[in-house]
């Protein structure tokens, strides 16, 4: 077990999968000669050459579509988006082609593609560079949506995403790339569709993913000092959603907070709440409270930005509410 | 770097000899497409076919001439006006008609419909419904062929209205940049729905756009199946040789409305214009040529027509009698079957 950054864990997953399968290649803006806008692909050009590590022009729709086409005929493209904000330019190819080819062709043609890159906010990047779009992709049958929160998950889930025969939208985080953690060496593959209990607890369940996992764990620490024992569930895969882990936890805790980075309206948390009210209505001792970004474009000013973002303080406050404590 | 080849107008060249032995087959396929589409139009009017349905009548020589130049292992992808290309590529009238009827025996098991015909066994990679959306996919097949080091080529069809959407520009730029083995076919039938080309594109000689992408651009007479075949042969040879993509602007006519819900002529194009476009019918032109060469007479035309009519009638009967998809089919083919 080595201690790696999230960035290097992704790099290791890419390297290992490219060694393992000749059909895997990486394509995107600045992935090759520049070593990646966030250095996730560092050293891959040197190791695999320009045939398999392909720099593209700034043409998200075009190279996403080329990736989808290559996947339809059996390659396993990993398409890097410099940011998921820019992937909006490519979303037509992901939603209208990748997600539907199998169905429209009556099962004849698949699309084993990974589109990956950082999503959500970093620091003071302003309204156009700070958006969390996972719920957009999770809305689409035919897609899988994966969001690792730790270096180990980053490696294990990326390897699984590359091996998956479906199109997978794999969303990382600029603020996660430098996070360090223990990462198993070599063959470490985490099945998609399984949430992970990042902290076990009995009094309340905090459901979160990606960049809300760390604040949720911090919140749990604060809460434990007050005598509230929180369980923290990291969804890891948004679609397919792991109902089982969520429901088993609620059966014990009877109280739920759902945290996410993005906006609340039609967000991931809305789906989670829907599952819970249908499947575990009688288990609830309090209404579920959601924590998410303020319903405004992300402001630049750092105080306003902080006020807009979901954080540990807001999660603690939400837990107080569901536990009827003040 | 190489110098961009000057855009050109393709001249029909040479004698018939190299192709004449294929004329019968081409004529038969063109007649088959024409009858298929006429029957599809009737079935639509009867409510047997639903949704959007775009017919290919008038454009038959484009599909037949281009696909005659491909090998079975090459890739083909198109837009939603693709019945003719599916048939010319070798899909049976039965499997296409059954798909239009939404039946379980259709090429896409009734889940695709008129706009989404697929047959992976002959690398027919679909009809696609977002204008221009298939162009990057076609470039992707070419990318895969080059990646694997095969000499397959990828041929992508789209209408002339699709040259104004971003996917055209992005895909052709990368195809030119990376010298992908691709053939991009503009089926220029003059209109995108009700918008004439000159009302949508800053230049109307679309083959000239190839200059921006470092690839040859060729204007082709799309009513002359031989000219289409020759131009496509050149493009295929260019691509197989590793010299990169070609943009073919194949000029043709759609005799019918944009879709089944649209009249053949109306506010956006006059009856006179439509009638004059029919003067150069691709089937009549090939028949005349074959008669000149002594390859065809009234009897053989009659025989061919009769055969084709029977084949289409059989396809309609097959589609009518085929079962609807099982209710459970709703839920299958969304994700790949789970593997361990
Ligand atoms: C992105 C997009 N915008 C609009 C439409 C609606 N639409 C369908 S076909 C069409 C005209 C396309 O014309 P052309 O590309 O010339 O093909 P043709 O129908 O003549 O074969 C339009 C506007 C669409 N399907 N996709
Ligand atoms: Mg047109």
What CATH number does residue A164 fall under? 3.40.50.970
CA distances from B53 to B86, B115, B261 (A): 14, 7, 8
Identify which of A100, A108, A111 has the alpha carbon closest to the alpha carbon of residue A141.
A100
What sign for the dihedral angle of Cα B47, B49, B53, B57? negative
Q: Angle B25-B27-B30 (CA atoms, 0-180°, nearest 5)?
A: 110
| Helix, coil or strand: residue B274 | helix
Does some domain include residue A123?
Answer: yes
**Which has the higher per-residue pLDDT, B13 or B310?**
B310
Q: B316 pLDDT band (50/70/90 cuts)?
A: very high
Q: Give the active site residue among A60, A134, A231, A260.
A: A60
Q: Provide the number of structural domains found in chain A.
A: 2
Report which of A67, A96, A95 is spatially closest to residue A81, judged by C-alpha positions.
A67
* A177: nearest Cα among A235, A125, A120: A120
Query: Does B329 map to a domain?
Result: no
Query: Is the separation of the CB atoms in B152 and B145 below 8 Å?
Result: yes
Q: Find out whether A115 and A168 touch, Cβ atoms under 8 Å.
A: yes
CB of A173 closer than 8 Å to CB of A7: no
- Print the domain residue range for B52: 3-321
Q: What is the pLDDT of residues A261-282, one digit of tens each?
A: 999 999 999 999 999 999 999 9
Task: Specify if B83 maps to a domain.
Answer: yes
B333 and A106 in contact by Cβ < 8 A?
Answer: yes
Would the pLDDT of A97 be above 50?
Answer: yes
- Residue B8 scores a pLDDT above 90: no
| Tokens, residue A88 | 């909006």
The per-residue pLDDT for A285 is 98
Q: Is the CB of B129 under 6 A from ligand 1?
A: yes
Chain B residues near residue A102 by CB distance under 8 angstroms: 333-336
Q: What is the pLDDT of residue B5?
A: 53
Please indicate, yes or no, whether residues A202 and A278 belong to a single structural domain of this protein.
Answer: yes
Is B279 buried (19+), middle (13-18) or exposed (0-12) by CB count in 10 A?
Answer: exposed
Last residue of a domain, one of A150, A183, A216: A183
B152: Cα within 13 Å, side-chain hemisphere: 23
Query: Which one of the listed residues A129, A139, A243, A320 is annotated catalytic?
Result: A129
List B residues 272-331 in contact with A (Cβ-Cβ < 8 A): none
At A63, the pLDDT band (50, 70, 90 cuts) reads: very high
C-alpha span between A212 and A312 (Å, rounded): 8
Same domain, yes or no: A267 and A171: no
For A190-249, the pLDDT digits (tens) are 999 999 999 999 999 999 999 999 999 999 999 999 999 999 999 999 999 999 999 999
CATH number where A244 lies: 3.40.50.920
Query: If you take atom 11 of ligand 1, which residue's CA is the nearest one?
Result: B192
Q: Which of B12-21, B137-146, B213-222 shows the lowest per-residue confidence on average (mean pLDDT)?
A: B12-21
Q: How many CB atoms lie within 10 A of CB B122?
A: 16
B286 within domain boundaries: yes
> Tell me, what CATH number does B112's domain have?
3.40.50.970
Q: Is B191 in the pocket of ligand 1 (CB under 6 A)?
A: yes
d(CA B337, CA A71): 17
Cα(A11)–Cα(A44) distance, integer angstroms:
8
In angstroms, rounded to a whole number, what is the distance separating the alpha carbons of residues A91 and A107? Answer: 22
Q: Looking at the domain assignment, is residue B338 inside a domain?
A: no
pLDDT tens digits, one per residue of B36-78 = 999 999 999 999 999 999 999 999 999 999 999 999 999 999 9
**Are A175 and A221 found together in one domain?**
no
A22 and A106 assigned to the same domain: yes
Q: In terms of domains, do A39 and A131 share one?
A: yes
Task: Give a yes or no: residue B245 inside a domain.
Answer: yes
Which residues make Cβ contacts (< 8 Å) with residue B130, sequence separation at least 6? A92, A96, A97
**A129 included as an active-site residue:** yes
Tell me, yes or no, whether A227 and A79 share the same domain.
no
> A273 and A234 in one domain?
yes
Exposure b/e, B185-208, CB count within 10 A at least 16 = b: bbbbbbbbeeebbeeebeeeebbb
User: Is the pLDDT at A87 greater than 80, yes or no?
Assistant: yes
Ligand 1 site, residue B287, Cβ cutoff 6 A: no
Asked if residue A178 and residue A210 are part of one domain, the reply reads no
B1 confidence band (pLDDT: 50, 70, 90): very low
Tell whether the model's pLDDT for residue B9 goes beyond 70: no
- Average pLDDT value over all residues in chain B: 94
How far A164 CA sits from the closest chain B CA (Å)?
9
Q: How many domains does chain B have?
A: 1
Please work out, in degrees rounded to the nearest 5, the angle formed at the alpha carbon of residue B4 by the alpha carbons of B1 and B6: 160
Out of B167, B193, B201, give the residue to mutate to test ligand 1, the one with the largest number of ligand atoms within 8 Å of its CB.
B193
Q: Helix or strand or coil: residue B87?
A: helix
Angle between helices B23-45 and B93-100 (to 10 degrees): 20
CB A82 within 8 A of CB A117: yes
Both A160 and A224 in one domain: the answer is no
Q: Do A26 and A158 fall within a single domain?
A: yes
Dist. CA A54–CA A32, nearest whole Å? 6
- Residue B339 inside a domain? The answer is no
Nearest of A133, A322, A113 to residue A210 by alpha carbon: A133
pLDDT at B2: 40
Interchain CB distance below 8 Å, A105 and B137? no
Distance, CA of A174 to CA of A115 (rounded, Å): 16
A190 part of a folded domain = no
Task: For residue A46, give Cα distances in angstroms to A33, A43, A49, A51, A53.
Answer: 9, 5, 6, 11, 9
Residue A292 known to be catalytic: no
Contact A64 B111 (CB under 8 A): no
Burial class (CB in 10 A: 0-12, 13-18, 19+), A281: exposed
Q: At residue B238, does pLDDT exceed 50?
A: yes
Whether the CB-CB separation of A172 and A116 falls below 8 Å is answered with yes
Highest mean pLDDT among A256-270, B9-23, B262-276: A256-270
pLDDT at B339: 65
- Which residues are registered as beta bridge partners of A289? A257
Nearest 5°: the CA angle A177, A178, A179 is: 95
User: What is the C-alpha separation between A269 and A292, in angstroms, rounded?
Assistant: 9
- Whether residues A66 and A135 share a domain: the answer is yes
Q: Where are the beta strands (DSSP E) in B160-272?
A: 182-188, 191-192, 195-196, 217-221, 246-251
Q: Are residues A29 and A162 in the same domain?
A: yes
Does residue A191 lie within any of the structural domains?
A: no
**Ligand 1 touching residue B262 (CB < 6 A):** no
Per-residue pLDDT, B187: 98
Determine the pLDDT at residue B261: 87
What are the pLDDT digits (tens) for A233-251?
999 999 999 999 999 999 9
Predicted local distance difference test score (pLDDT) of residue B340: 47
What range defines the domain where residue A248 resides? 196-323
| Residue numbers of B between 49 and 108 with CB closer than 8 Å to A | 75, 77, 106-108
Residue B247 lies in a domain: yes
Of A159, A183, A207, the residue at which a domain comes to its end is A183
């Amino acid at each position: 077990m080595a201690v790696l950054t999230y960035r290097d864990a992704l790099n290791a997953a890419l390297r290992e999968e490219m060694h393992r399968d000749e059909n895997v290649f990486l394509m995107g803006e600045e992935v090759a000669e520049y070593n990646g806008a966030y250095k996730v692909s560092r050293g891959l050009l040197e190791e695999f050459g320009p045939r398999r590590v392909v720099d593209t022009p700034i043409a998200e729709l075009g190279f996403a579509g080329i990736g989808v086409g290559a996947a339809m005929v059996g390659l396993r493209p990993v398409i890097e988006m410099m940011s998921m904000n820019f992937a909006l330019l490519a979303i037509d190819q992901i939603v209208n082609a990748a997600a539907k080819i199998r169905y429209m062709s009556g099962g004849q043609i698949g699309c084993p593609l990974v589109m990956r890159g950082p999503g959500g906010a970093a620091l003071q990047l302003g309204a156009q560079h700070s958006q969390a779009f996972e719920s957009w992709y999770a809305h689409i049958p035919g897609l899988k949506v994966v969001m690792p929160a730790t270096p180990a998950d980053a490696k294990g889930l990326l390897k699984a995403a590359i091996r998956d025969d479906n199109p997978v939208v794999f969303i990382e985080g600029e603020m996660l790339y430098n996070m360090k953690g223990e990462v198993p060496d070599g063959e470490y593959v985490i099945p998609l569709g399984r949430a992970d209990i990042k902290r076990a607890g009995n009094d309340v369940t905090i459901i979160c993913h990606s960049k809300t996992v760390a604040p949720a764990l911090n919140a749990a620490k604060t809460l434990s000092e007050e005598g509230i024992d929180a369980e923290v569930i990291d969804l890891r895969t948004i679609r397919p959603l792991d109902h089982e882990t969520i429901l088993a936890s609620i059966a014990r805790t009877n109280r739920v907070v759902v945290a996410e980075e993005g906006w609340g309206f039609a967000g991931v948390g809305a789906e989670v709440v829907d599952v819970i009210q249908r499947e575990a209505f009688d288990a609830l001792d309090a209404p579920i409270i959601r924590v998410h970004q303020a319903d405004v474009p992300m402001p630049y000013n750092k105080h306003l930005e902080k006020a807009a973002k979901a954080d540990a303080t807001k999660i603690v406050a939400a837990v107080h509410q569901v536990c009827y404590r003040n | 770097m190489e110098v961009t080849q000057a855009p050109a107008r393709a001249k029909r060249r040479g004698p018939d000899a190299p192709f004449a032995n294929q004329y019968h087959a081409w004529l038969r396929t063109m007649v088959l497409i024409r009858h298929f589409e006429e029957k599809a139009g009737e079935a639509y009017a009867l409510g047997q076919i639903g949704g959007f349905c775009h017919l290919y009548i008038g454009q038959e020589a484009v599909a037949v001439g281009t696909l005659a130049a491909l090998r079975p292992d090459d890739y083909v992808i198109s837009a939603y006006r693709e019945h003719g290309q599916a048939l010319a590529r070798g899909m049976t009238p039965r499997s296409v008609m059954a798909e239009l009827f939404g039946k379980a025996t259709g090429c896409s098991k009734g889940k695709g419909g008129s706009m989404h015909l697929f047959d992976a066994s002959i690398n027919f990679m679909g009809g696609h419904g977002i204008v221009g959306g298939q162009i990057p996919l076609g470039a992707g097949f070419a990318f895969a062929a080059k990646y694997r080091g095969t000499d397959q080529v990828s041929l992508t069809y789209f209408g002339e209205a699709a040259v104004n959407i971003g996917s055209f520009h992005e895909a052709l730029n990368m195809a030119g940049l990376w010298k992908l083995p691709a053939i991009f076919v503009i089926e220029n039938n003059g209109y995108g729905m009700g918008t004439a080309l000159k009302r949508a594109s800053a230049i109307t000689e679309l083959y000239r756009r190839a200059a921006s992408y470092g690839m040859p651009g060729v204007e082709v007479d799309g009513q002359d199946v031989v000219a289409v075949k020759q131009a496509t042969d050149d493009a295929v040879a260019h691509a197989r040789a590793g010299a990169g993509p070609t943009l073919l602007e194949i000029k043709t006519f759609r005799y019918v409305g944009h879709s089944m819900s649209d009249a053949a002529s109306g506010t956006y194009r006059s009856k006179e214009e439509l009638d004059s476009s029919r003067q150069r019918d691709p089937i009549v032109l090939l028949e005349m040529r074959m008669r000149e060469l002594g390859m065809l007479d009234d009897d053989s035309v009659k025989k061919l027509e009769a055969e084709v009519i029977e084949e289409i009638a059989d396809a309609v009967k097959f589609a009518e009698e085929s079962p609807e998809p099982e209710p459970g089919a709703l839920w299958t083919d969304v994700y790949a079957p789970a593997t361990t």
